[in-house]
Structure 1
Amino acid sequence: MSETRATPETARVAAIQMNSLGEVDPNLARADDLLREAARRGARLAVLPENFAIMGAHETDKLNVAEPDGVAGEDTPIQTFLSQAAARHGLWIAAGTIPLVSPEPDRVYPALCVYDDRGTRVARYDKIHLFDVGLPDSREAYRESATFMPGSNEPMVIDTPFGRLGLSICYDLRFPELYRRLADQGAEIIVAPSAFTHTTGTAHWHILTRARAIENLATMIAPNQAGHHASGRRTYGHSLICDPWGQVQSEARSDANEVVIADIDRSRNARLREGFPCLSHRRLV
């Protein structure tokens, strides 16, 4: 994609791919470098992948770094970092996900928090759908509910300078009813920070992200984890930005840390929804 500057009708956005490690500090340092690059390349919004701050050797590792909600200070290094990085780089940051303390000591909330370019937190969405699955023809299995507490079933859409922003996380991609609710609330851009496994990503990553864009005539920003992690888990990468017509504008092609950039055009999105009004043609609601 050309690196020309975005026009007043467009906004440059970034999907940040990471190969997150098993400790918080080096992951925050990596994230800061990638956010700096996104800002240097003109992005106004940067989206970090699911579990960007820790991909531990054990699923319980996240419990040891869980933070109380919304408190800045030495007890909340991840949230403090995000607030300071957003202000320092002049970026809106959608950071998915942060392990936040829940009422149950053996589970945390997987929280996607959004910070504006002054470092103020403006939204929090806790992952609704938890990845409790066994993969077909494989011994590979996951049970997120063992260490994650699901959020409420309320979709989250917020106003930003570059359009109405809908929030989702990873496994949510398999539940189109959530995305329809986001579209009903006016979402023009939807973020889906993820840690798709290599197995499920190979089969479904592009299909699901493009389908959610097409169905809802919305831009999808989907950063993913990539490569091998401390637990032995392998994630798929291919972080991407997809336009409302389902075309992939930009995509990561390696298992490395990478910044994926695209310009989104709100006026084109509006024209598309007006000329191709499938959202208003629904009969089963």
Structure 2
Amino acid sequence: MSKTFKRGRHHAAPHETAPDTERLIARLWFEPVLSFQYRCAANDAVEVRSRSHAPLYVFCDDGWRVRMADGVHLANKGDILFLPRGGVHLVFRDEQVVPRGIEDLVRAGFRNRHGVYAVGSEHDALVAGSFFETSALMEHPLMALLPEVVHCKAGEGAGDARVVDWVRWISDLDAGNAMAMGPSINGILRMLLSRHFADPAHAVGLEAAPGRRDRQLSTAVLAMHEHPARNWTVDALAALCHLSRSAFASRFSQQFGLPPLRYLFHTRMRIAARLLKEQRLTLDQVAQQVGYSNGLALSRSFKRATGMRPRGQAQP
């Protein structure tokens, strides 16, 4: 058994993400429900009421406000705001303006290219980003540990000026490359998590993180994320945790809300989506890396999980 799986062998230095946590972050990928570029006039404001969709906002200009239950968050150019559990919030620049709902914006007209929606035309300020399924985020062990709001200020890692300029460009349907929006936002999300868990106040190793209150499950979680191609069984995963099959299955389902092999299925689909988007592999190549015999089998499972077949990739 490698040192990675042994308790107490490594302690992250201050401002350094624990290596087991960093490896989970490196494999993280979530398919956006939609991505957007919102050009906000001075007399405009948007209210978001959904708890089923979690936004990540990249602020490309100064002077933004985001009102939530805990108060108002000030955001300027380079700030990144992530709400992993969604929730009611108001995005605005002038507090006196009567807000519009997202549905109102859609009715007012938008353009769509490769899943990126552009709203507004003339603008005083711009914000871009993506919405994710909250339920999918909360299945990931690290996401479940995040607070209601993760706010990365400009210059603090993920909020680099070059990152913001890149997002501004790719989300511009006239000048950018909208197909790069998903991979780019996922890259920002990974940087955001690395920075968050590198903070000594939030730093956790996998022993504390994936199982939340049940640290004994950590070895199995890491194994599934690091070796998705293996033919895992509940017995094999239970053995890694030194638990009986029934005790492991019960505790895992209680902690993650999914049986172990269902959790493995979703993990494989997220890894497959990341590989297809970021590395431009064929379905057959990706299938081998996530435990499927061929691209056709992977495509069927992917459609069952997401409702669509893998898009824009070479067929087997």
TM-score (norm 2): 0.23
Which protein is richer in strand relative to its size? 1
Which protein is richer in helix relative to its size? 2
Of the two, which has the highest radius of gyration? 2
